[in-house]
């Protein structure tokens, strides 16, 4: 059975791979035919566009095409401006072009998603337009128009082929992925309501939640390009993701509290909270359906039962005031989780039941990305110096093919800067490019000269060209080789209208292209990429801790979603380049949970402070606690931990003193302060090395 299953998976993968190969080849040759029919100067430019934007899923093709089109137009306009400013000053022209390409490369590293293609193409198109026209500025406008026309033709053909020939849409993938994450979270919530969860299990749950949230946003951002219904539902999908993240955070915080109470010998309070869980547990019980609509109705009915049950359980703890405070804090957290879970499930039900545009207003939510400016500046500087060096070499030697070397460096400096091992990626691309150039030579000088017409062009190139798209489907084992092969074949074949066969020019262009790639690899050695380095890991960890400072100081409107999404996006970046099971991985997991819990508690505390009429002394002490916690996470040490612990304790004492005369406003604030104190004194958290070891501070 296993052999059959493996064979079935293999055959399915091969079928999908060859469908992609067929679509790529169809788009290549259709683009070449239309380019020649429309008498465009360089059909190869349009074919290179197809090679860059093609993807097995049409949403990805449309997303890449959209940003590539924007980048192409932007680069062309900048090229016209550049030539207008420096028509006869080649040195200033190369300097300005190098600066522009460097900035575009930095923009690609900063954004990391499909917008990166727009930045790469803005730099590449400017170089494609400017460099050939440097010796004849009067050609600049015609060159710009031709390059834009060729690129747009490639984009249109790739989009049409992807959309009409065995289309593989992202909408079904998004729905399937979203439902899988929904069921996974519901199963976790159902299975864990019977008691405490080990910290290792909470860490893995947090990691799954982070990956799910980022994956859903990435899919949503791409599927809006292919489906009008997806565009109409886009804001609700983002809101669903927000509610998913909010419920997951409250779930983790609640189980942290139960774990701490049990470790701190407060078993009665922990058991009371577990019993308070019962209505939610019954709603999620295996006997009940996890279908969103009936589950939302059961969870909505839990609210009244939770209030009644909380009053009953609270009565059993009246003789112990300290336990009563901890129970009230946990009950508040549990009610928040139940409410957020109900909101999440209700919106899930609405999205499943409603097709097309959803009625009613929706919150404006934005998934905040955590991008590193220093990494982008380093990439910009590396590309700038690479282009400047190649440009100076070109001007000094008057090498006719020097512009080709600059074009290859422009393209791959931006594309490879986002990888964690750019030198290895450059080497793989270089190997693929060399193989593609060799195959192109065989086609151009052995197979094609003996034929005539477009059919012979297809027959003379098809057997060798199809290798590139197939290798692209094996990118996991041969990263970059397929892309390099395809670009090498198409670029070196250099289809023109009319076609010319010059072996000397071919060899010169091939050597220039390989030289440009080698210089790019050398630039990555001299100025290494920071992605995946220990330096960037430490920097990103500092940025991760500063998410607490953002939660403590940033303006409140939209802060909840900015914190939830920004923290997860940054955590996802770090975990991608952290070896699983290492000390760095354990440290990251511990800090991720601590930052998430503390930051969310600070958000809820600040919201209660703004909405409630607190006594002035309570407000002042609570604000001091917020500031002390922000300083602790910014630069953790024992002194700041002591200061934060003292500030939180003083605020708790003052709130308890004011509770009898202002219970309605002070009770929520007290609950969040107690949660923050428990998190501070958790001797299994990331803050454990900074905890001062006296008895009071060890109290859970």
Q: What is the pLDDT of residues 38-94, one digit of tens each?
A: 888 788 888 888 887 777 776 677 777 788 888 888 988 998 898 888 887 888 888
Read off the pLDDT of each residue in 558-566 and give the average, rounded to a whole number. Answer: 85
Q: CB count, 10 Å around CB of 646?
A: 14
**Range name among 151-165, 470-484, 640-654 with the lowest pLDDT average:** 470-484
Q: What is the pLDDT of residues 623-681, one digit of tens each?
A: 999 999 999 998 999 999 999 999 999 998 888 888 777 777 788 888 889 889 888 88
* Spatial separation of the C-alpha atoms in residues 247 and 139, rounded to whole Å: 60
**Range name among 94-98, 530-534, 669-673 with the lowest pLDDT average:** 530-534
DSSP codes of every residue in 198-242: -HHHHHHHHHHHHHHHHHHHHHHHHHTTT-HHHHHTHHHHHHHHH
Q: What is the pLDDT of residues 193-250, one digit of tens each?
A: 555 567 677 777 778 888 888 888 877 877 777 666 767 777 788 888 888 888 888 8
Read off the pLDDT of each residue in 186-193 and give the average, rounded to a whole number. Answer: 75
Cβ contact 300:335 at 8 Å:
no
Residue 197, pLDDT score: 64
Cβ contact 601:264 at 8 Å:
no
Q: Would you say residue 191 has pLDDT above 80?
A: no
Cβ contact 255:197 at 8 Å:
yes
Read off the pLDDT of each residue in 602-630 and give the average, rounded to a whole number. Answer: 87
Structural domains in the chain, CATH included, are: 19-168+370-526 (no CATH), 170-225+234-353 (1.20.58.220), 534-698 (no CATH)
DSSP codes of every residue in 550-606: HHHHS-STTHHHHHHHHHHHHHHHHHHTS-TTSHHHHHHHHHHHHHHHHHHHHHHHH
Q: Is the dihedral of CA 303, 605, 257, 271 positive or negative?
A: negative
In our burial notation (b when 16+ CB lie closer than 10 A, e otherwise), range 94-132 reads bbbbbebbbbbbbbbbbbbbbbbbbbbbbbbbbbbbbbb
**Range name among 263-267, 411-415, 581-585 with the lowest pLDDT average:** 263-267
Kindly report the average pLDDT of the chain as a whole number: 82
In our burial notation (b when 16+ CB lie closer than 10 A, e otherwise), range 253-283 reads bbbbbbbbbbebebeebbbbbbebbebbbeb
Residue 648, pLDDT score: 92
Q: Which helix (DSSP H) or strand (DSSP E) does residue 66 occupy?
A: helix 58-85
Which band of pLDDT confidence, cut at 50, 70 and 90, is reported for residue 360?
Answer: very low
Output the CA–CA distances (angstroms, integers) from residue 582 to 512, 533, 578, 579, 585, in the order listed.
Answer: 43, 15, 8, 6, 5
Which band of pLDDT confidence, cut at 50, 70 and 90, is reported for residue 288?
Answer: low
DSSP alpha helices (H): ranges in 284-371?
Answer: 292-315, 321-353
Cβ contact 470:521 at 8 Å:
no
CA atoms within 13 A on the CB side of 638: 6
Read off the pLDDT of each residue in 390-410 and give the average, rounded to a whole number. Answer: 86
Degrees, nearest 5: CA angle 369-372-375 = 140
Which of 13-22, 249-258, 620-629: highest mean pLDDT?
620-629
Residue 322, pLDDT score: 65
Q: Omega before 25 cis (within 30°)?
A: no
Going by the DSSP 8-state scheme, the letter that residue 399 receives in this structure is -
Cβ contact 622:605 at 8 Å:
yes
Residue 435, pLDDT score: 92
Residue 696, pLDDT score: 43
Q: What is the pLDDT of residues 328-351, one digit of tens each?
A: 888 888 888 888 889 898 888 888
Residues found in the chain: 700
Instruction: Please give the distance of CA 233 from its chain centroid, rounded to a whole number.
Output: 20
Judge if pTM exceeds 0.85. no
Residue 108, pLDDT score: 84
Q: Would you say residue 361 has pLDDT above 90?
A: no
Residue 13, pLDDT score: 63
């Amino acid at each position: 059975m296993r052999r059959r299953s493996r064979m079935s998976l293999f055959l399915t993968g091969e079928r999908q791979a060859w469908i992609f190969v067929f679509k790529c080849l169809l788009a290549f040759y259709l683009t070449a035919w239309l380019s020649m029919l429309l008498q465009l100067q360089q059909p190869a430019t349009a074919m290179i566009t197809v090679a860059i934007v093609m993807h097995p899923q049409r949403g990805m093709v449309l997303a890449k095409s959209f940003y590539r089109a924007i980048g192409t137009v932007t680069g062309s306009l900048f090229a016209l401006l550049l030539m207008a400013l420096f028509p006869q000053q080649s040195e200033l022209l190369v300097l300005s072009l190098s600066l522009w390409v460097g900035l575009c490369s930095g923009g690609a590293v900063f954004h990391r998603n499909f917008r990166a293609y727009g930045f790469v193409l803005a730099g590449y198109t400017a170089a494609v337009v400017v460099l050939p026209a440097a010796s004849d500025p009067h050609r600049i406008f015609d060159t710009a128009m031709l390059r834009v026309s060729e690129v747009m033709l490639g984009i249109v053909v790739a989009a049409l082929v992807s959309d009409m020939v065995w289309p593989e849409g992202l909408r079904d993938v998004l729905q399937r992925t979203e439902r899988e994450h929904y069921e996974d979270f519901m199963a976790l919530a159902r299975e864990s309501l019977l008691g405490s969860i080990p910290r290792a299990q909470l860490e893995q749950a947090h990691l799954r939640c982070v990956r799910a949230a980022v994956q859903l946003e990435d899919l949503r951002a791409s599927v809006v390009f292919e489906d009008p219904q997806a565009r109409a539902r886009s804001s609700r999908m983002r809101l669903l993701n927000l509610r998913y993240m909010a419920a997951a955070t409250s779930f983790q915080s609640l189980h942290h509290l139960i774990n701490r109470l049990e470790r701190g010998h407060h078993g009665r309070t922990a058991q009371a909270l577990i019993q308070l869980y019962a209505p939610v547990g019954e709603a999620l019980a295996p006997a009940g359906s996890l279908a969103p609509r009936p589950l939302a109705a059961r969870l909505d009915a839990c609210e009244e039962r939770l209030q009644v049950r909380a009053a009953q359980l609270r009565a059993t703890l009246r003789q112990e005031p300290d336990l009563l405070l901890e129970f009230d804090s946990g009950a508040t957290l549990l009610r928040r989780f139940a409410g957020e879970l109900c909101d999440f499930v209700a919106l899930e039900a609405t999205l499943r039941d409603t097709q097309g545009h959803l009625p009613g207003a929706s919150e404006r939510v934005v998934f905040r990305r955590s991008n590193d400016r220093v990494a982008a500046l380093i990439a910009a500087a590396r590309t700038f110096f690479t282009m400047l060096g190649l440009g100076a070499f070109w001007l000094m030697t008057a090498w006719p093919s020097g512009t080709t070397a600059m074009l290859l460096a422009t393209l791959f400096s931006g594309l490879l800067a986002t990888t964690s091992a750019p030198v290895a990626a450059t080497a793989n691309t270089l190997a693929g490019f060399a193989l593609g150039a060799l195959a192109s030579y065989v086609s151009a000088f052995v197979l094609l000269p003996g034929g005539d017409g477009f059919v012979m062009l297809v027959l003379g190139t098809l057997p060798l060209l199809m290798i590139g798209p197939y290798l692209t489907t094996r990118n996991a084992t041969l990263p970059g080789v397929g892309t390099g092969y395809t670009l090498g074949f198409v670029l070196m074949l250099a289809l023109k209208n009319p076609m010319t066969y010059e072996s000397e020019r071919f060899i010169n262009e091939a050597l220039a292209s390989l030289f440009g790639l080698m210089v790019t690899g050398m630039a990555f050695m001299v100025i290494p990429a920071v992605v995946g380095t220990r330096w960037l890991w430490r920097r990103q960890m500092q940025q991760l801790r500063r998410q607490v400072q953002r939660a403590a100081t940033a303006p409140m409107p939209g802060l909840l979603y900015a914190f939830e999404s920004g923290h997860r996006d940054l955590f996802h970046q770090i975990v991608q380049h952290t070896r699983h099971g290492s000390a760095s991985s354990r440290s990251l997991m511990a800090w991720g949970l601590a930052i998430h819990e503390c930051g969310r508690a600070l958000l809820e505390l600040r919201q209660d402070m703004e909405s409630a009429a607190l006594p002035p002394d309570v407000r002042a002490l609570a604000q001091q606690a917020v500031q002390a916690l922000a300083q602790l996470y910014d630069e953790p040490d024992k002194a700041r931990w002591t200061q934060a612990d003292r500030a939180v304790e003083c605020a708790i004492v003052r709130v308890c003193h004011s509770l009898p005369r202002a219970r309605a406003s002070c009770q929520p604030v007290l609950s969040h302060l107690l949660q923050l104190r428990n998190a501070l004194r958790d001797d299994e958290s990331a803050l454990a090395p900074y905890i001062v070891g006296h008895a009071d501070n060890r109290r859970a």
